[in-house]
């Protein structure tokens, strides 16, 4: 078995009193493969991703993350920032912030409260702008970007954080087909150039088929499949997960 970068045992997730995964989730995601979380809305994808960011929705059980397999239960937020960078689903953002400043913020965990952030024309930021096709937009505010540009900016920020794991929650939700393609291209490029592990929740099954090697399918708070992507698509049609079998 390949080494894992993410493992959970008896993971029970919930918001307040509402329990999302009453039976407990057990999962292992192998390193070096992009893991896709797929499943209908409300199946627990977003909650699982949020748990991976240290959100208190992790009620019991434990999750280990990263190469050293640190437990999220004992890991401080400072340690977490080195492990996980995130592009959440309902992304709030300061609309007056310049794009280049948003990218500089990626270095906030490293710099801490007193440290200096690298300048906007420092090498990693310029390089990332090129990679994510944001170079001509750096002097715009986040509010002035298009939805697609903004999503790429958020991905660039998360990537620049140099964490071991990228967590993307339905990142292409509101994008048009062109924007979606640009976003996925940026992600594929990142994976070629760095060893970052990726967990993506998405409804874009075509992308999953082509670019994600591992699939974790959720339905009503349970994992119904977790394994190699190719094997999943051999035995399941794209729509089977989304059929409503309840009476």
Q: Are strands 197-201 and 4-15 parallel, antiparallel or unpaired?
A: unpaired
Distance CA 200, CA 209 (A): 13
Q: Give the tokens for residue 14.
A: 């919930």
Residue 60 CA to its chain's centroid (Å): 22
161 forms part of the interface with another protein (CB under 8 A): yes
User: Which window, 9-17, 110-118, 215-223, 238-246, contacts another protein (CB under 8 A)?
Assistant: 110-118
Distance CA 88, CA 171 (A): 7
Looking at the Cβ atoms of 50 and 211, the one nearer to another protein is: 50
Rounded least distance, CB 209 to another protein, Å: 28
242 forms part of the interface with another protein (CB under 8 A): no
174 forms part of the interface with another protein (CB under 8 A): no
Torsion of CA 75, 159, 213, 39, to 10 degrees: 70
Q: Give the tokens for residue 243.
A: 């059929």
User: Which window, 13-21, 36-44, 94-102, 172-180, contacts another protein (CB under 8 A)?
Assistant: 94-102
Q: How many residues bind another protein (CB under 8 A)?
A: 33
81 forms part of the interface with another protein (CB under 8 A): yes
67 forms part of the interface with another protein (CB under 8 A): no
126 forms part of the interface with another protein (CB under 8 A): no
Distance CA 201, CA 16 (A): 23
Side-chain half-sphere exposure of 40, counting CA atoms within 13 A: 13
Interacting residues toward another protein by CB under 8 A? 50, 53-55, 77-78, 80-81, 84-86, 88, 90-94, 96-98, 100-102, 105, 108-109, 112-114, 117, 141, 161, 163
């Amino acid at each position: 078995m390949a080494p894992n970068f993410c493992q959970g045992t008896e993971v029970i997730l919930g918001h307040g009193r509402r329990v999302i995964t009453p039976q407990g989730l057990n999962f292992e995601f192998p390193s070096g493969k992009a893991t896709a979380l797929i499943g209908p809305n409300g199946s627990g994808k977003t909650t699982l991703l949020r748990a991976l960011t240290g959100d208190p929705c992790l009620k019991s059980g434990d999750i280990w993350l990263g190469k050293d397999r640190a437990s999220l239960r004992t890991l401080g937020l400072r340690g977490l920032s080195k492990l996980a960078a995130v592009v959440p689903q309902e992304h709030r953002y300061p609309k007056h912030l310049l794009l280049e400043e948003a990218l500089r913020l990626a270095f906030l965990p490293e710099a801490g409260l007193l440290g200096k952030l690298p300048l906007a024309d420092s090498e990693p930021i310029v390089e990332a702008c090129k990679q994510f096709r944001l170079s001509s937009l750096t002097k715009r505010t986040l509010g002035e970007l298009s939805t697609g540009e903004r999503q790429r900016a958020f991905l660039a920020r998360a990537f620049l954080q140099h964490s071991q794991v990228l967590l993307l929650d339905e990142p292409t939700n509101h994008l048009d087909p062109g924007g979606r393609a640009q976003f996925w291209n940026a992600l594929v490029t990142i994976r070629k150039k760095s060893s970052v592990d990726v967990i993506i929740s998405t409804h874009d099954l075509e992308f999953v088929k082509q670019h994600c090697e591992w699939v974790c399918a959720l339905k009503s708070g349970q994992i119904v499949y977790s394994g190699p992507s190719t094997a999943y698509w051999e035995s399941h049609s794209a729509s089977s997960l989304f059929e409503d079998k309840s009476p």
